């Protein structure tokens, strides 16, 4: 114990990052509405809007680089997430899917953009709201398409099962469609962003702390920073993947609600 104590720095021990690091104070004023995550969300809306307005403004047959970038993202969402998953009625849902994908992607990537460096989706309320949107969209679509009775019947009663078994299966179906789906959708995004940000904090703050230690610890410090940098690239992958998964699952839920028999 004593030797461990000698190794640590003089002024206080290392304070490991915790969930407290996600409760940020207001950037200005004293309002709960001026915290960093909320301002970042506004910034992301602004950035996404401006980017796609600029990209689509002077649309030409031979696209500029900006137009090409904008159209690539749009085509990816429309074709890979809309058309391939939902089928022939997909165009109605492309605006929602596209908004969802670009919004989540931008906010996630803010987690590794220097100076911003905070993924708003690591505050659980944001993913909750997005999942609530998806929840209402896919149920509404299903009810509109098939009528309330048939839609609920399709969810609750799997065909080709002896009647008594429904006592066992129907509660599971109801729990899946009305509770587990929105919950897993939001928590998956939240947990990935939360864990990713925490991981980066551990390695970067840890490296910084080691740098202030005795010479032996100073030598280890670059490894912590190197890990931090490596994990930043890894985080970029996770951030893109989570935006994709959220949109893909939304599309799959819509497709399931549209299908006559899911």
**172 binds another protein, rule: CB under 8 A:** yes
User: Distances from the Cα of 106 to the Cαs of 14, 62, 150, in angstroms?
Assistant: 32, 27, 38
> Which distant-in-sequence residues (6+ apart) come within 8 Å of 239 by Cβ?
105, 108, 109, 111, 112, 119, 193, 196
Which of residues 59, 95, 176, 223 is near another protein by CB under 8 A? Answer: 176
State the minimum distance, in angstroms, from the CB of residue 44 to another protein.
26
Provide the minimum distance between the beta carbon of 129 and another protein in the complex, in angstroms, as a whole number. Answer: 20
- Residue-wise burial string across 137-160, b where 16 or more C-beta atoms lie within 10 A, e elsewhere: bbbebbeeebeeeebbebbeeeee
> What's the residue count for the chain?
262
248 binds another protein (CB under 8 A): yes
Judged by CB under 8 A, which of 35, 184, 221, 232 binds another protein? 184
Q: What's the closest the beta carbon of residue 147 comes to another protein, in angstroms? A: 22
* Shortest distance, position 256 Cβ to another protein, whole Å: 8
Among 15, 27, 169, 226, binds another protein (CB under 8 A): 169
Q: Which is nearer to another protein, 34 or 79 (CB)?
A: 79
**Strand, coil or helix: 214:** coil
In whole angstroms, how close is the CB of 156 to another protein at the nearest point?
A: 12
- Per-residue x/- marks for another protein, 104-143, CB under 8 A? ----------------------------------------
Rule CB under 8 A: choose which of 16, 147, 171, 222 binds another protein.
171
Nearer to another protein, 174 or 229 (CB): 174
Query: Residue 23, by phi and psi: left (phi above 0), alpha (psi -120 to 50) or beta?
Result: beta
Cβ of residue 42: shortest distance to another protein, in angstroms? 31
Does residue 15 belong to the site contacting another protein (CB under 8 A)?
no
At residue 75's C-alpha, the angle toward residues 72 and 80, to 5°, is 120
Q: Residue 243, class by beta-carbon neighbours within 10 Å (0-12 exposed, 13-18 middle, 19+ buried)? A: buried
Should residue 180 be labelled a site residue for another protein when binding is judged by CB under 8 A? yes
With binding defined as CB under 8 A, does residue 84 bind another protein?
yes
Q: How far is the CB of 5 from another protein (least distance, A)?
A: 45
Nearest to 170 by CA among 183, 181, 186, 154: 154
CB burial of residue 123 (10 Å; 0-12, 13-18, 19+): buried
Distance CA 148, CA 142 (A): 8
User: Any contact of residue 241 with another protein (CB under 8 A)?
Assistant: no
Size of the site for another protein (CB under 8 A): 22
Name the residues that contact another protein, by CB under 8 A. 80, 84-85, 158, 160-161, 165, 168-169, 171-173, 175-176, 179-181, 184, 245, 248-249, 252
């Amino acid at each position: 114990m004593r030797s461990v104590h000698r190794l640590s720095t003089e002024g206080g021990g290392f304070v490991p990052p915790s969930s407290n690091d996600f409760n940020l104070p207001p950037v200005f004023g004293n309002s709960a509405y001026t915290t960093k995550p909320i301002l970042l969300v506004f910034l992301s809306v602004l950035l996404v809007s401006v980017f796609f307005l600029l990209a689509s403004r002077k649309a030409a047959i031979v696209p500029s680089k900006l137009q090409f970038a904008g159209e690539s993202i749009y085509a990816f969402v429309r074709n890979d997430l809309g058309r391939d998953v939902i089928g022939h009625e997909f165009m109605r849902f492309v605006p929602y899917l596209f908004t969802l994908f670009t919004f989540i992607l931008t906010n996630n990537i803010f987690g590794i953009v220097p100076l911003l460096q905070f993924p708003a989706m690591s505050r659980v309320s944001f993913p909750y709201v997005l999942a609530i949107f998806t929840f209402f969209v896919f149920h509404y679509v299903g009810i509109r398409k098939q009528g309330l009775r048939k839609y609920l019947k399709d969810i609750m009663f799997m065909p080709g099962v002896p009647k008594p078994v429904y006592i066992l299966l129907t509660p599971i179906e109801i729990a899946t469609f009305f509770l587990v789906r929105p919950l897993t959708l939001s928590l998956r995004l939240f947990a990935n962003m939360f864990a990713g940000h925490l991981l980066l904090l551990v390695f970067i703050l840890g490296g910084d702390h080691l740098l202030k230690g005795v010479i032996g610890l100073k030598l280890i410090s670059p490894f912590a920073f190197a890990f931090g940098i490596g994990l930043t690239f890894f985080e970029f992958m996770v951030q893109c993947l989570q935006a994709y998964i959220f949109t893909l699952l939304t599309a799959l839920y819509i497709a399931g609600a549209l299908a006559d028999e899911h």
